[in-house]
Structure 1
Amino acid sequence: MNEANGKNEQALVNAARELFLLGQKTVEARAALAALHKELNDANAQLADNQQLEQLIEANQQLVLAILLAQSDAEKPERTQQSSGCTWKCAKPTSSW
């Protein structure tokens, strides 16, 4: 009977040790998971920032193109008149009165 008690005590000691080690591993795993969670949040924030930056760049490009097109359209009548040798003044009728 004494031998059975000794085996039970040893089994309890082994189980307690294993439970303690599992508890330590759980704490380590939670810390690693928290670090990964923070890293993921940082990456998501950076991705959102990059997407906003890309949208701003694209909007800026569209504005530049619109400005260039507007300038080109504004210069067309001027170029047409210059190529015909006429200015706005020659297109106006003059009165001889």
Structure 2
Amino acid sequence: MESVNFSEVIAQTDIEMELRGWTTDQGREYLKKTYGKRSHFLLTQVELLDFLQYLASQPTPTLDEIIIAKINVEIQWLWWTQKQGWEYIKKIMGSDRVFC
């Protein structure tokens, strides 16, 4: 097997996760379930390439889906429920401007 630059592949997995709107927690859960490891830094070369191939095969979400996912992550960081967060957003933006 040809040698692979781990840092480049890890960077590419980060990009693919970002493009698909995956959070770090979603990536960690997938890695634990699939490989029994918590981080892509702990994967073997074969596992890392397999993970990258899996990510690249997943559909890319729409811009709206990415924005909603990012908002939901921010709401979690505030320790709000989804309902609290979206009610606040609707209040400050006006309910006719919110797309969910």
Determine which structure has more spread, i.e. the larger CA radius of gyration: 1
**Normalising to structure 2: TM-score of the pair?**
0.22
Instruction: Tell me which of the two structures has the higher relative contact order, counting C-alpha pairs closer than 8 angstroms and 6 or more residues apart.
Output: 2
**Normalising to structure 1: TM-score of the pair?**
0.23
